[in-house]
Structure 1
Amino acid sequence: MSQPIAVFTDTDDLDPEPGARLLADAGFEVRVAGSRDPDVIAAAADGAVALIVGYARVDAALLDRLPRLRIVATMSAGHDMVDTAEARRRGLWVANLPDAATEDVAVHALASALSLVRRLPQADAVVRAGGWSEEFAAAELPRRASDLTLGLVGLGRIARRFAALAAPVFGRVAAYDPHADPAGWPDGVERHDDLGALAAACDVLSPHVPLTPATRGLVDAGLLARMRPGAFLVNVSRGELVDTEALLDALGSGRLTGAALDVLPVEPPPADDPLRRHPRVQLSPHSAYLSDTSRRAYVCGPAENVVAWHRTGRPLTPVAEPDRAAAAAPATAAATAPTEGAVA
């Protein structure tokens, strides 16, 4: 029986070594492509049964070049970089990492919201320019958080943790999520059944939904126009959820007082991106997920998904299961894939 191959695609600032060690101990040959380039990935993953993915796009064209592949494990809760429908059709598993950095992202969202409300970047700029409290107060006063309503779009793990952290600080916390079970709605979070109504009721709006065709551009000109004058936007989810042109217009008109963005449609942003120069935009480099603890979890979690699949036929946290007909068909990787329980 040949040794199964697992490949890390792009790891960016993560060290794949702890995850690679878990895979090697489970009997895998481990390779690191270190790239999002499909040509580089295809060459490194020749013969691979498992692909561990950061931001690299896994589409039909790449899957055509990896006929032995049987599982794709993402290094994130989001899995929009993988064509899950195509993976299912080809008899592949797709697994994500739902809880590696829930606390870190929720804390980052709260810190971003409070930084906007308390005008911390502006206060810092005043002091660095030689001013003090008089100059700071003369420009625009901060707002009291307990007078404000935090609005959450989506109520998954991160949003629920954010709500719990924010509840003692903000006056009200409200949310819109048509997919959430009303019986499991968290105490202390007001429920809105209409997204526009939520926007109109909140002073800080924060989306927490996956990127799909339905959610792309969710925060658009129409939604921003519904928000209270002087409101704030916080986005730690996916850059493409926000229509950046509409955001810039809302900031320019004064409809929005500020925005804190950890994610952008293009990362890193080009030098001439107006968001980089805007005085009311607070940016962080897609770092909400990072901590000393999460850094290890992001490489070990996907490796554990691959090891579980190899041993039992099922990953720990699947988001897409093989199509039954495709999974039942003869597979070129049968020699290296588990036989027991391999069909969902």
Structure 2
Amino acid sequence: MWRVLLTDRAWPDTEIEREILSRVGAELIEPPATDEETLAAIAADVDAIATNWAKVTAKVIRSAKKCRMIARTGIGVDNIDVACATELGLPVTNCPDYCVPEVADHTLGLLLAMSRNIGFFHARTKAGEYQLAAGGPMQRLSGQTLGLFGLGRIGQAVASRARAFGLRVIATTSSGSDHGVGCEMVSLEDLLRQSDYLSLHAPATPTTRKIINENQLRLMKPTAYLINTSRGALVDEPALLEALKQNRLAGAALDVFDPEPPDLSQPLFRHERVIVTPHAAFVSQQSLQQMRTQAMEQVAAVLTGKRPQNVVNPQFEHNRT
């Protein structure tokens, strides 16, 4: 019987995973903890690894002598040492399209909550204060500029939704391509200077980590808002807090953090002009079912000698070299 390690999960049961794996005679294994030592010890006797947020490091991968592949139950693979997996001939798969509408909807929800002071007023009224004048000035949404840092599937979905509200959409990408969206492409500096709302939709890589730092935040309008539903590592959180404290930024909405879970006692997350959601943008009953099914079907494919659907490292070899 094949053994598949599921390092962690953000859903309450494993019925979908076990049902799909049972079709190919595979058993699901869950660890008692997600630290590197525990995962490495269990990985030594598994045929595949699936991971949600836990880190699958080089040590974990090298200890998995029988492992045939690593599956990410999600889109980004920054928690997996893809280079090590590639070196060892292991395919790494992901689920690139499972939550596109959910994250796009969440992004627009956060934008609306900030533009209309919904988050601010909600906190104040719940605390017993009914005072319209307490909120900052609000602007008509139509005609304002939404800047997108990244224009993949989710960025494109955000752009189409934003236009329905009358927002002007601009974007910057590493390739300079608008991917058929038809929005104005600008430099990062122009994106920061022009945006009334800056929304991040890029993976965490060595070149994008803390791309929104003190220098970049100083280019933004003091009336602008930052939205991050992508990866927490894109934002220098101490620099963001300083920008808010010095009124160099109107507000921020964060669904992702570095690290996760964050220390919610930190001043940034308690600031009344910051909206915080617990990495919830990807979630719906439909998206979770799609992701879990897609991830496990890719595991089953590899275990039965087939090529999985979404391979992050297309140069992989089916067997270790």
State if a TM-score over 0.5 links the two structures: yes
Q: Which moved more, 1:252-261 or 1:293-302?
A: 293-302
Q: Compute the displacement of 1:12 (Å).
A: 3.4
Distance 1:322 1:4 in 2: 24
SS in 1 for 2:164: coil
Among 212, 227, 250, the residue aligned to 1:219: 212
* Matched-pair contact (CA < 8 Å) for 2:68–2:319: no
Q: Deviation digits for residues 232-268 of structure 1, max 9, x if unmatched?
A: 0000111110001111111112121100000111222
Aligned to 1:337: none
How is 1:279-290 mapped onto 2 (pairs within 5 angstroms)?
A: 279-290=272-283
Aligned to 2:103: 105
Contact 2:36-2:57 within 8 A present in 1 as well: no
Which residue number in structure 2 is paired with residue 175 of structure 1? 171
Query: Percent same amino acid among aligned pairs?
Result: 35
**Counterpart position of 1:210:** 203
1:158-177, Cα deviation, whole Å (9 max, x unpaired): 11111111111143011101
The CA deviation at 1:284 is: 0.4
Q: Give the secondary-structure state (helix, strand or coil) at the position aligned to 2:142.
A: helix
Deviation at 1:312, TM superposition (A): 4.4
Q: Is the 8 A contact 1:16 1:299 kept in 2?
A: no
- Give the one of 144, 155, 158 matched to 1:159: 155
Aligned to 1:334: none
Q: Does the alignment pair 1:25 with 2:20? A: no
TM-superposed CA distance for 1:178, in Å, is 2.5
- 2:42 maps to which residue? 44
| Aligned residues of 2:147 and 2:169 also touching (Cα < 8 A) | yes
Q: How many Å separate the matches in 1 of 2:107 and 2:235?
A: 16
Partner of 1:115: 113
* 1:253 pairs with 2:249: no
Q: 1:92 to 1:328 in 2, by over 3 A?
A: closer
Structure 1 letter corresponding to 2:173: D
Q: Is the 8 A contact 2:91 2:316 kept in 1?
A: no
Contact 1:14 1:295 in 2 (8 A): no
1:55 to 31, 53, 56: 53
- The number of residue pairs the alignment matches comes to 321
Counterpart-to-counterpart distance in 2, 1:153 and 1:14 = 33
The one of 9, 12, 18 aligned to 2:10: 12
**What is the alpha-carbon distance in structure 1 between the residues aligned to residue 261 and residue 86 of structure 2?**
31
- Between 1:238-247 and 1:60-69, the stretch displaced more is 60-69
Whole-Å separation in 2 of the counterparts to 1:229 and 1:14 = 42
| 1:186 alignment counterpart | 181
Alpha-carbon separation, structure 2, partners of 1:309 and 1:179:
32
Contact 1:150 1:170 in 2 (8 A): no
- Displacement of 1:140 after TM fit? 2.0
1:272 to 256, 265, 272: 265
- Taking structure 1 as reference, are residues 271 and 169 closer, same or farther at Cα in structure 2, changes over 3 Å only? closer
- Alpha-carbon distance, 1:34 to partner: 5.4
**1:230-241 equivalence runs, <5 A:** 230-241=223-234
Q: Could you list the per-position Cα deviations for residues 289-336 of structure 1 after superposition, in whole angstroms to 9, with x for gaps in the alignment?
A: 111112222322210111222334311100014555x9473xxxxxxx
Shift of 1:76: 0.8
1:304 pairs, out of 277, 294, 297, with 297
Shift of the 139–53 alpha-carbon distance from structure 1 to 2, 3 Å rule, reads closer
Q: 1:74 to 1:34 in 2, by over 3 A?
A: farther
Does structure 1 retain, via aligned residues, the 8 Å contact 2:89–2:316? yes
Change (3 A) 1:112 1:139: closer
Residue 274 of structure 1, CA deviation: 1.3
Q: Which amino acid aligns with 1:186?
A: V
- Aligned residue number for residue 145 of structure 1: 141
Take 1:67 and 1:322, find their aligned partners in 2: how far apart are those partners?
20
Q: Does 1:315 align with 2:308?
A: yes
State the distance in 1 between where 2:181 and 2:12 align: 34
Contact residue 154 and residue 175 of structure 1 kept, 8 A? yes
Task: Give a deviation string over 1:87-125, Cα, whole Å, max 9, x none.
Answer: 010110100111111111110011001101110022223
Greater gyration radius: 1
CA contact (8 A) 2:154 2:201 kept: yes
SS at match of 1:142: coil
Distance in 2 of aligned mates of 1:138 and 1:39? 51
Query: Could you tell me which of 67, 72, 75 is aligned with 1:74?
Result: 72
Q: Decide whether the 8 Å contact of 1:206 with 1:233 is kept in 2.
A: yes
**1:273: how far off?**
1.2
Structure 1 residues 173 and 286, CA gap change in structure 2 (3 angstroms)? same
